[in-house]
């Protein structure tokens, strides 16, 4: 064929297709068939017959209608157009996705995939490089893969079957595939709860063998605001916010294949304990606000209903209330839950990286920090001079053309842009976020769209929390150093332009673990001798179920996402070790945690104004190691009397306050025990002036005949001696107490220094983090 004719035909077909949608495709079928027959397809498409075909996923976004046959036909017509015949299309297609969203999987060459990606109704085309069943990453990352050996905690615990997780949150979207009950047995006989009817929530349809309980609590809000606050709310367990659906599906969601966010992070979404049952207690509303009275009632109901684990991604702002203060509803009510053997897991808050901001600090609670996983979404930025940079984004659109890029010299900070900035019209804007709330960026995006801006590049540190970039408006995050280079280009290029690409999903090396900048930090502001947070879990860019407004799965970040990871793991542990107390489960998690990346072995970094190696105030014991927690060897166990007489009394709370929280009369001893002797799986000394001796007791949950030796890594300038140096267990000795004698060599006041005590029998490593601050009295002059 003459090259000019080929180019003419290519132009013609491209032009016709771009002016119509899939719904109009059928009426043009004959014209395209004639045209394609006229052309030599291998020349026209640039495809050689022997080019390798691979499976690609074509994602077309939300369904435009409910006609399944028409959706399927449209998928076949796209393939017919690109491949040249209906027969080739039938041979190529593998799956037609037509229920949750529109799209298909097909065998395509690279050039064919590129052609499809350029079509107007196609959002993304991605290679199908994830061949085995797996979650969209976080559970595999933690070593709880469906393809793991039978000895893995995930399989040994039968995926949490029989365990009930109660979730206090914004409600649940029961129709989500994440809450299907396929393969589940009868509801556990101990369950006493039920599903409560309400607005758009029929228990007969909404609940099943997965979602076995759903209640809502609004009387606290009603008492203060009246019924008008329900104007845009569901007066039922139904979720109008999305937060509760996300957290509950993360903890115990069922297997939901073919999940992604507009094609990103494609895979199977599931919870950590996919066979555990869920009970939702709606205590928060669409605004994201929760009433303490409602929270307490929710926990009270959960205790009565028979939950095994409570997952609470709710907290207070700094400063915190004391444990015995009734305004601290979670601390007060959860004390009673723990007393009934219920493990309570709470998010640590999102006020990091500022010190002493960690929330939900009561020692009977497992408080969770947020870490990243080994997944990123690299997004290419190409300048007009062909230099390229890589940012991070969850942008759901297509690659842009080259667009002018500008920098507001007088309004260089992102939060300074407003609707009068018409200079942004038709341009991509570079701005810097030096300080302030990342959520302000959503306003910046809205402003740019309102004035006709075409894209946004945000220079900030760090760049890993990508929720703010999750939209069809081109928005990309870059580090400050990349932002500075882009700024140089804008200032000195004759006509600065930029092209923004769509992001890709990257898993594994070189992405390593870090503690999120937003994750609230210790030390504990209420009780400095109690280490908080306790543990870290994935909480950055977590994909889970949401109410399906645009897509049934979305990314979210926060310690709210980290807590249900621990809740799911706690459910697995409870399934295998039903007699373990909440303190034993907490100890198993803390003493077996990773301090280095589980895949690379590199130190875990705490992100902040200045990155550093993470310490116990960033991640407690470390990053959760679920399989290690299943076989911890030793645990630091406690019961209700320990919380009362070794914590509440030494804290100096008056007996009437302690009696209120314990709901029984308490008399503290005249000679108060030291709070440092509280039997935690960690040791924090906030003010070491002279030599102190502390006591701990461990319980053997490993082989009956075991011998452990101590390994001490003392904090800088601190001397630690342990007695005895070896612990010998047998059939008659299950518990052993030991002492640590701690002194300082420092002559001046210091900040906190960190170390550890590890008991090992050659198989188990029972590690307790140690945090010590030397502090001498400052005499007045």
Active site residues: 169, 243, 560
Strand order in the sheet with 634-635: 634-635, 692-700, 735-744, 718-723
Neighbouring residues of 55: CB distance < 8 A, sequence distance ≥ 6 = 94, 105, 106, 107, 108, 127, 128
Neighbouring residues of 43: CB distance < 8 A, sequence distance ≥ 6 = 1, 6
Question: For residue 420, what are the CA distances in angstroms to 416, 446, 452, 453?
Answer: 11, 13, 11, 12
Mark 563-578 as b/e (b = at least 16 C-beta within 10 Å).
bbbbbbbbbbbbbebe
Give CA–CA dist 530/321, Å, rounded: 15
Give CA–CA dist 760/727, Å, rounded: 10
Radius of gyration for the alpha carbons in the chain, expressed in angstroms and rounded: 29
Give CA–CA dist 239/225, Å, rounded: 20
Q: Which of 508, 484, 493, 207 is nearest to 378 (CA)?
A: 508
| 3-state DSSP assignment of residue 355 | coil
Six-digit token pair at 294?
């409602």
Q: H/E/C letters for each residue in 703-724?
A: CCCEEEEEEEECCCCEEEEEEC
Cα 770–chain centre separation: 27
CB 319 within 8 A of CB 529: no
Six-digit token pair at 463?
């760049």
| 3-state DSSP assignment of residue 571 | helix
User: What's the maximum distance between 2 C-alpha atoms anywhere in the chain?
Assistant: 102
Give CA–CA dist 550/495, Å, rounded: 37
CB 92 within 8 A of CB 83: yes
Instruction: Tell me the helix, strand and coil percentages in the chain, rounded to 5.
Output: 30, 25, 45
CB 535 within 8 A of CB 369: yes
**How many residues are recorded in the chain?**
781
Using left for φ > 0, alpha for ψ between -120 and 50, and beta otherwise, residue 747 falls in alpha
Q: Which of 551, 642, 627 is nearest to 594 (CA)?
A: 627
Give CA–CA dist 379/44, Å, rounded: 30
Q: Which of 305, 319, 73 is nearest to 212 (CA)?
A: 305
Q: Give residue for tokens 């933690």.
A: 142
Backbone angles phi, psi at 629, to 5 degrees: -65, -25
Q: What angle do CA 701, 705, 709 make, to 5 degrees?
A: 80
CB 546 within 8 A of CB 242: yes
Cα 86–chain centre separation: 43
Give CA–CA dist 146/113, Å, rounded: 30
Give CA–CA dist 695/589, Å, rounded: 21
CB 476 within 8 A of CB 424: no
Q: Give residue for tokens 């260089």.
A: 412
If one counts every other C-beta atom within 10 angstroms of the C-beta of residue 638, the result is 24
Neighbouring residues of 641: CB distance < 8 A, sequence distance ≥ 6 = none
Q: Give residue for tokens 């015949």.
A: 85
Q: Give residue for tokens 């452990």.
A: 708
């Amino acid at each position: 064929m003459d090259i000019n004719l080929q180019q003419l035909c290519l132009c013609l077909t491209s032009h016709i297709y771009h002016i119509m949608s899939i719904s109009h495709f059928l009426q043009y079928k004959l014209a395209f068939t004639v045209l394609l027959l006229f052309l030599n397809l291998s020349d026209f498409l640039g495809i050689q017959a022997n080019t390798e075909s691979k499976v690609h996923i074509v994602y077309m976004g939300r369904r435009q209608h409910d006609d399944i046959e028409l959706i399927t036909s449209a998928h076949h017509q796209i393939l017919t157009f690109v491949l040249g015949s209906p027969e080739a299309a039938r041979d190529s297609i593998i799956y037609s996705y037509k229920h949750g969203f529109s799209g298909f999987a097909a065998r395509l060459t690279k050039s064919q995939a590129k052609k499809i990606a350029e079509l107007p109704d196609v959002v993304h085309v991605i290679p199908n490089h994830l061949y085995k069943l797996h979650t969209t990453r976080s559970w595999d990352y933690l070593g709880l893969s469906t393809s793991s050996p039978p000895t893995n905690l995930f399989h040994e615990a039968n995926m949490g079957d029989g365990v009930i997780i109660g979730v206090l949150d914004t409600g649940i979207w029961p129709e989500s595939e994440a809450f299907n009950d396929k393969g589940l047995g009868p509801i556990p006989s101990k369950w006493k709860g039920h599903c409560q009817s309400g607005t758009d929530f029929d228990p007969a349809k909404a609940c099943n063998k997965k979602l076995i309980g759903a209640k809502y609590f609004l009387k606290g809000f009603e008492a203060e605001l009246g019924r008008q606050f329900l104007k845009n709310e569901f007066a039922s367990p139904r979720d109008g916010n999305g937060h509760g659906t996300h957290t509950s599906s993360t903890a115990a969601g069922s297997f939901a294949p073919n999940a992604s966010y507009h094609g990103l992070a494609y895979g199977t979404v599931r919870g950590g304990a996919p066979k555990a049952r869920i009970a939702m207690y709606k205590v928060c509303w669409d605004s994201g606000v929760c009433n303490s009275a409602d929270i307490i009632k929710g926990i009270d109901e959960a205790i009565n209903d028979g939950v095994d684990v409570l997952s609470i991604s709710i907290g207070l702002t700094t400063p915190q209330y004391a444990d015995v203060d009734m305004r601290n509803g979670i601390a007060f009510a959860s004390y009673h839950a723990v007393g009934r053997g219920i493990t309570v897991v709470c998010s640590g808050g999102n006020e990091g990286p500022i010190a002493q901001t960690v929330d939900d600090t009561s020692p009977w609670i497992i408080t969770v920090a947020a870490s990243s996983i080994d997944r990123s979404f690299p997004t290419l930025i190409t300048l007009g001079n062909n230099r390229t940079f890589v940012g991070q984004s969850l942008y759901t659109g297509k690659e842009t053309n080259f667009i002018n890029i500008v920098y507001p010299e007088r309004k260089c900070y992102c939060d300074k842009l407003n609707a009068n900035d018409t200079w942004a019209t038709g341009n991509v804007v570079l701005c810097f976020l030096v300080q302030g709330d990342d959520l302000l960026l959503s306003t910046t995006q809205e402003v740019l769209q309102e004035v006709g801006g075409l894209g946004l590049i945000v220079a900030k540190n760090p760049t890993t929390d990508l929720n703010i970039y999750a939209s069809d408006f081109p928005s990309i995050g870059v580090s400050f150093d990349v932002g500075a280079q882009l700024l140089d280009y804008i200032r000195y290029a004759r006509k600065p332009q930029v092209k923004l690409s769509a992001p890709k999903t990257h898993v594994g090396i070189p992405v390593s673990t870090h503690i999120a900048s937003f994750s609230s930090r210790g030390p504990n502001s209420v009780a400095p001798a109690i280490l908080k947070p306790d543990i870290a879990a994935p909480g950055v860019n977590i994909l889970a179920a949401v109410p399906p407004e645009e897509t049934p799965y979305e990314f979210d970040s926060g310690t709210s996402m980290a807590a249900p990871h621990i809740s799911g793991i706690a459910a697995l542990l409870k399934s295998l070790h039903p007699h373990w107390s909440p303190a034993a489960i907490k100890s198993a998690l803390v003493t077996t945690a990773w301090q280095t990346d589980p895949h690379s072995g590199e130190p875990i970094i705490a992100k902040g104004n200045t990155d550093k190696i993470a310490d116990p105030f960033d991640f407690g014991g470390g990053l959760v190691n679920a399989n290690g927690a299943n076989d911890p060897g030793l645990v630091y166990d406690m019961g209700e009397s320990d919380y009362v007489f070794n914590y509440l009394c030494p804290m100096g709370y008056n007996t009437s306050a302690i009696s209120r929280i314990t709901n029984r009369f308490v008399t503290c001893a005249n000679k108060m025990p030291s709070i440092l002797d509280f039997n935690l799986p960690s040791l924090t000394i906030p003010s070491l002036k002279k030599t102190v001796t502390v006591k701990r007791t461990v319980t053997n949950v490993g082989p009956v005949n075991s011998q452990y030796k101590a390994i001490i890594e003392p904090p800088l300038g601190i001397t630690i001696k342990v007695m005895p140096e070896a612990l010998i267990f047998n059939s008659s000795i299950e518990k052993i107490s030991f002492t640590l004698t701690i002194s300082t060599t420092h002559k001046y006041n210091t900040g906190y220094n960190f170390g550890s005590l590890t008991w090992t029998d050659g198989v188990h490593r029972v590690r307790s983090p140690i945090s010590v601050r030397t502090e001498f009295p400052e005499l007045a002059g």
